[in-house]
Structure formats: C-alpha cells, structure tokens
Structure 1
Amino acid sequence: MAWLVICRDIDDSEALRQRHLERHLAYVDTILDQIAVAGPVASQPQGVHAGSCFIYHTDDRTVAESLLFNDPYYQAGLYVETQFQVLRPAAGTWVGGATWR
C-alpha cells in the first residue's frame, strides 16, 4: 500500500515555488527512499505548475502527513488544498504487470 497525496497550488504560485525550490529539493533528497514518485503537475504539457503529486511508500497516514508537512513548499503556504488517498497499486510496470494474475 502507498499514500497518494495531491496538492493544489495557490493562485500565482510560480514566484513562491521558485523562492523555495532549493530548500524543497534538498528536503526531497533526504526522503527519497520513502517516495515512489513525486513531481509537479500542470494542466498542459508546457503549462505553469498547478500543484504537486506525491506517492509515499508507507501504510501509515501519519507518516505520509509528516512527510508532506515537513516539506518547505508546504510550510511556505504553497498549497491551497491537499488530498490524502490510499493507493493500492494493481496494474502497470510499477507492480510488474497485473496483481490479479
């Protein structure tokens, strides 16, 4: 099991993102072993950032919350909304095919 965290940026977030980018990336470097995948999201391929997505390797919501809440982006107030959802990977290259086989 994993936790999927979807974060929606505040309006006009680019300046705030850039101001805290170095600290955010340094923090991510310290928790890489707890991240399945993470990155910014946008509504268009070349569009501005609209938020962030994290998939954390943990069964514990409290751990997932701690990982996000300690992120400099979160602490800087970049996100207007965050959603925590349990993710049960069932198909794809990440899980080696289909888990029902």
Structure 2
Amino acid sequence: MSIAWYRCESCSGCPCRSQCCRAKDSEYPKELCLQKIFGEKRAETTQRITSKRGIHLRLCRFIQVEGEFALLKNDFGFRRFLTRGRANIRAELFPLAVAFDLKKLWMK
C-alpha cells in the first residue's frame, strides 16, 4: 500500500484558510494523506456489486432485512439505540428480537 503526502508550502495570508484548514496555528500548513490503493479497491467493489451474484445478494438483503427493521420502527416505535458499543447494542437489541419473534409466533 502506497501513501501520497501533499503539503501546502504556506497558508499564511490565504483568504480560504478558515475553510480549508482546521489547524489553530496559522503557521501550520494544510496537509493531505492519500492512499493510492483506494481507487483499486473502489473499482474492485464496484465490479463485485454489479455482477449477477452481487445484484442477487443486494436484492435478497432488501427483502429479508429491511422489512424487519421497518416493522421494528413502525410497530415497536424503535427509532435509535440508547447506548454505544457492540455489547450494549446486542443487549438492547435482544429483547426487541425476542418480542418480534413472539409477535410473529402469536400471529401464526
């Protein structure tokens, strides 16, 4: 993986400095770090999701997952997680999943 560094020589006296650079020190110039592998990965990903298998997987995801989340939002009034972290979100999502499954079972 190659990284390209770009650095402005001097930002002093530049009228666009407040929009361009967030550094508080006026002597500190603008600096960019670009990974050259990004373009390759993006092309690879685009090729993968536009293949027949990728289109099929995206369609299946739309059908399977989105419906359940829509029901959680609409029927249960769930809008957002109240905690952060993977373990906390799992603990918060578990009762919702159980309630969803029980409702599904009761409807049958």
Same fold (TM over 0.5): no
Q: Report the TM range for the smaller structure's normalisation.
A: under 0.3
Larger radius of gyration: 2
Taking structure 1 as the reference length, the TM-score comes to: 0.23
More helix by share: 2
Q: Which gives a bigger RCO, structure 1 or 2 (Cα 8 Å, sep 6+)?
A: 1
